[in-house]
Amino acid sequence: MRKTAIVTGSTSGIGLGIAEALAGAGMNVMLNGFGEACEIEAHRRRIAGRSGSEVGYNAADMSKPDAIASLVEETRERFGRIDIVVNNAGVQTVAPIEDFPRERWDLIIAVNLSAAFHLVRLTFAEMKDRGWGRVINVASAHALVASPFKSAYVAAKHGILGLTKTVALEGAEHGVTCNAICPGYVLTPLVEKQIPETAKARGISEEAVVRDVLLAAQPTRAFVEVGQLGALAAFLCSDAAAQITGTALPVDGGWTAH
Ligand code: NAD
Give how far Cα 209 sits from Cα of 157, 213, 216, Å.
Answer: 22, 5, 9
Is 90 exceeded by the pLDDT of residue 258? no
pLDDT averaged over every residue in the chain? 97
Residue 92 carries which side chain, given as an amino acid letter? Q
Task: Verify whether ligand 1 is closer than 6 Å to residue 140 (CB atom).
Answer: yes
pLDDT at position 249 over 90: yes
Cβ distance 87 to 10 under 8 Å?
no
Q: Can you tell me the distance from the alpha carbon of 251 to that of 258, in angstroms, rounded to the nearest whole number?
A: 14
Average pLDDT over residues 33-40: 98
Which residue lies with its CA nearest to atom 2 of ligand 1? 190
- Tally Cβ neighbours within 10 Å of residue 64: 14
Query: Domains plus CATH for the chain?
Result: 4-184+225-246 (3.40.50.720)
Which protein residue has the closest C-alpha to ligand 1 atom 23?
190
DSSP 172: G
Name every residue whose Cβ is closer than 8 Å to that of residue 209 and which is 6 or more positions away in sequence. Answer: 195, 198, 199, 202
Marked catalytic residue, from 124, 149, 153, 223: 153
DSSP conformation letters of 99-112: G--HHHHHHHHIII
Model-level pTM? 0.97
Q: Is 33 in the pocket of ligand 1 (CB under 6 A)?
A: yes
Q: Average pLDDT in the 212-227 region? A: 94
Q: Ligand 1: which of 12, 109, 249 to mutate, judged by most atoms within 8 Å of the beta carbon? A: 12
173 CA from centroid of ligand 1 (Å):
31
Q: Which positions ≥6 away from 129 have C-beta within 8 Å?
A: none
Of the pLDDT bands very low, low, confident and very high (cuts 50, 70, 90), residue 61 is very high
153 catalytic residue (yes or no): yes
Contact 141, 252 (CB under 8 A): yes
Q: Can you list the alpha helix ranges (DSSP code H) found in the chain?
A: 13-24, 37-51, 65-79, 102-109, 115-130, 151-171, 189-202, 206-208, 226-236
